[in-house]
Amino acid sequence: MTSVPSHCPYCALQCGQWIDGDGGVDAREFPTNRGGLCQKGWTSGALLDHPGRLTTPLLRTSRDTPLEPVSWDHALSYVAARLRALRAEHGADAVAVFGAGGLTNEKSYLLGKFARVALGTSQIDYNGRFCMSSAAAAGNRAFGVDRGLPFPVTDLDDAEVVVLAGANVAETMPPLMGHLTGRLVVIDPRRTPTAERAIASGGLHLAPVPGTDLVLALGMLHAAVVDGHVDADYLAERTTGFDDAWALAAQWWPERAERVCGVAAADMRTVVGWLARAQRRYVLTARGAEQHAHGVDTVSAWINLSLALGLPGREGSGFGTITGQGNGQGGREHGQKADQLPGYRMITDPAARAHVAGVWGVDPDDLPGPGRSATELLAALGRDDGPRAMLVFGSNVLVSAPDARSVAERLAALDLLVVADFLPGETAMAADVVLPVAQWAEEEGTMTNLEGRVLRRRRAMTPPSGVRTDLEVISGLADLLDVKGFPSDAEEVFEELRLASAGGPADYSGVTYARIDAGEALHWPVPGEGHPGTPRLFTDRFAHADGRARLIAVDHTEAAELPDAGFPLRATTGRVLVHYQSGAQTRRVAELAGISPEAFVEVHPDTAVRAGLVDGDRARVVSRRGSTLARVRCVGSLRPDTVFLPFHFGGEEAANNLTIAALDPISRMPEFKVCAVRLERV
């Protein structure tokens, strides 16, 4: 049977796969995975013919009636009529759109255009706000542009030292571990499989108190300066802002930092020395450093350390952020983020508005301004000044958003909730209208991986009867709203995206399906069809007008919620090897669900004893917002003041029943990584 070359539907490594017409999956040679796949990738084809697959539109006319099958014509006509009525009564912002970092570039682009042109609403954001927003904001202000890795993954192959701040890649993206063969330093409150690899490599595992990563970075910058490891020539030639950044870091000598973050001062100095003496060295951040109410400053602190040591833009060295979702990079570049237009342009920039409006054939003044960020958008649903309807594409917010109980209340307060999905996830089953859409092997499009490389998603099989692509759904709704200019063909949409992105920071104007199909490795920016792409950024200059990187003065801020007598522990959340994001897909793969079938909470044995618990007990983890049921796992390497929960489960097992919707003031990232909890025996 003929197989089609494509890419895994999960994380931002976008590992190469072969897919045949029956949904069979095999590994394909590609630079990120080099012929291997993780368990999720190997089993990804199991969902293509899953018995729970959505294959017909579902509709209910009131919340106390069940969802019933209807025709596509009826479902789309019903949605369009309700949207018209709500907009007429409450204004354009009465309708919200919520997208996802797993959507193709074409879907992200068309969804942003649909919101702003067909609906005229400013109320659009996406679940990437929960993933990459802090790193994006920190990268933009330091380097002038945000691209997760400003170099190919293969540049890591010969690195002597790699510092992973808040990354557990051995579980979240296992093929990446094949590129990390040198000495590793892992910064994580837990002794994860990645931390175990670090210890085995002759490196270190640094376990800070949750919420104190920034203090650790400040202490290490202090050590770099005092111990004489700063690259003064690099700072003078390629950066600005060091003096201001040092004025704050000078107060955080390693011994003081140790008292706050719990990491030994000697270990801070050791790691800085390793980075300073190595020829090939990298610092990489991920969600553990970013998902805080001060996540932008935390990432900035790691960037400051990297700049002080002269890493970014140097051959064999660098700073980067490990993108999480499959199209986490492209998903935020083309217009589904509240404050951005295609090409990574800001929606408040008059020149950007004029350019994109010209491509769309509308008056720039008719484009709405920036809307609410994801968490704020969800909190506003159904309120007097908030949206009355929401369209959701590719996101399961009832599991993935913070303070999940509050999110459920806001969704229930809507006049209309429409969800496009291919499986009956928690959010889809709460909707008024469910639209069944195609999966990755059933559609065409492009994705942009963590290196900024634009990839082709190829159709290997026909969707089940009754299923449409997201592009067909968006196009169909636009037609019913009497708005033209919304094609449903992926390549036609991409050709328009090329024009809209031209001249922007994320310039795709030189990328074509033909060039990708011919095997060209095209990392944006690609400003013209004769341009070879830009696999490595910052080799000569940074993206600010003066060509210099900025060190940003940052200082420690306490977590939004601290432990007290009633809630004495800090809870942190993360992922496990066999599940992905909200688990809406992987919980339905029998092989994966059998390995990790239920929520669990990792607890230090002494902490468990104090709560009257033993390994294997069912426990209730309680915060000020709600509670979660989980199986106790006693882990002797865990900090006694910390518990850990995976966030892949829904309902009473949802970790985000606990989390707090405190937001970073710049990125609007929620504080997923620390909240105060207690343990109770069930």
Residue with tokens 């070359």: 5
Per the CB < 8 A criterion, the answer to whether 663 and 637 are in contact is: no
The DSSP-derived string for 229-266 is ---HHHHHHHEE-HHHHHHHHTT--HHHHHHHH---HH
Helix axes 490-501, 350-360, angle to 10 degrees: 150
Nearest to 556 by CA among 140, 221, 156: 221
Q: Which residue has the tokens 């973050």?
A: 261
- The b/e string for 542-562 (b: 16+ C-beta within 10 A; e otherwise) is bbbeeebbbbbbbebeebbbe
The strand pair at 600-603 and 627-634 is best described as parallel
DSSP result, 169-218: HHHHSGGGGGG--SEEEEE-SS--HHHHHHHHTT-EEE-PPTT-HHHHHH
Both tokens assigned to 410: 């806001």
User: Which pLDDT belongs to residue 585?
Assistant: 93
Mean pLDDT score, 233-251:
98
Q: Which residues contact 397 (CB under 8 A, 6 or more apart)?
A: 98, 127, 378, 407, 411, 427
Q: Is the pLDDT of residue 156 over 70?
A: yes
Q: Which CATH class is domain 58-131+330-488?
A: alpha beta
β-sheet bridge partners, residue 571: 643, 675
Burial 14-28 (b: 16+ CB within 10 A, else e): bbbbbbbeebebebb
Task: Answer whether residue 598 shows pLDDT above 70.
Answer: yes
Tokens of 558: 């306490």
CATH fold of 569-681, please? Barwin-like endoglucanases (2.40.40)
What CATH number should be reported for the domain whose range is 138-322? 3.40.228.10
DSSP assignment of 311-328 equals: -TTSTTEEEEE---STTH
Mean pLDDT of the chain, nearest integer? 97
Measured CA to CA, the distance from residue 354 to residue 373 in angstroms comes to 23
Q: Which helix (H) or strand (E) holds 420?
A: strand 416-421
For the cut 70, the answer to whether the pLDDT of residue 436 exceeds it is yes
Q: What is the distance between the alpha carbons of residues 653 and 628, in angstroms, rounded to a whole number?
A: 5
pLDDT at site 214:
98
Q: What is the pLDDT of residues 27-51, one digit of tens each?
A: 999 999 999 999 999 999 999 999 9
Q: How confident is the model at residue 2 (pLDDT cuts 50, 70, 90)?
A: confident
3-state secondary structure of 503: coil
Report pLDDT for 99. Answer: 97
Complete DSSP assignment for 106-137: HHHHHHHHIIIIII--S-EEEGGGGTTHHHHH
Q: Which two tokens stand for residue 324?
A: 């999480």
The predicted-structure confidence for 463-496, as pLDDT tens digits, reads as follows: 999 999 999 999 999 999 999 999 999 999 999 9
Q: What is the CATH number of domain 3-47?
A: 2.20.25.90
* Cα gap 415→83, rounded to integer Å: 10
In sequence order, the β-bridge partners of residue 391 are 97, 418
Residue, of 132 and 632, whose pLDDT is higher: 632
Burial per residue of 649-671, b for 16 or more beta-carbon CB atoms within 10 angstroms, e otherwise: bbeebbbbbbbbbbbbebbbbbb
Please give the single-letter amino acid code of residue 632: V
Side chain identity at residue 570, one-letter code: R
pLDDT at 373 over 80: yes
Mean pLDDT of 134-142: 97
- Check pLDDT > 90 for residue 1: no
Q: pLDDT for 526-577, tens place per residue?
A: 999 999 999 999 999 999 999 999 999 999 999 999 999 999 999 999 999 9
Q: What's the burial of 256, exposed, middle or buried (CB within 10 Å: 0-12/13-18/19+)?
A: middle
**Average of per-residue pLDDT across 421-450:** 97
How far, in Å, CA of 111 to CA of 125, rounded? Answer: 10
Mean pLDDT of 623-643: 97
Q: What is the mean pLDDT of residues 71-97?
A: 98
For the chain, which residues make up each domain, given as ranges? 3-47, 58-131+330-488, 138-322, 569-681
Can you give the C-alpha Rg of the chain in angstroms? 24
Q: What pLDDT does 63 receive?
A: 85
Query: How many C-alpha atoms does 299 have within 13 Å on its Cβ side?
Result: 34
The pLDDT of 617-622, averaged and rounded, is 98
**Calpha distance 511→454 (Å, rounded):** 8
Q: Kindly list the distances between the CA atom of residue 110 and the CA atoms of 114, 337, 362, 497, 641, in Å, as whole numbers in the listed order.
A: 6, 12, 15, 9, 46
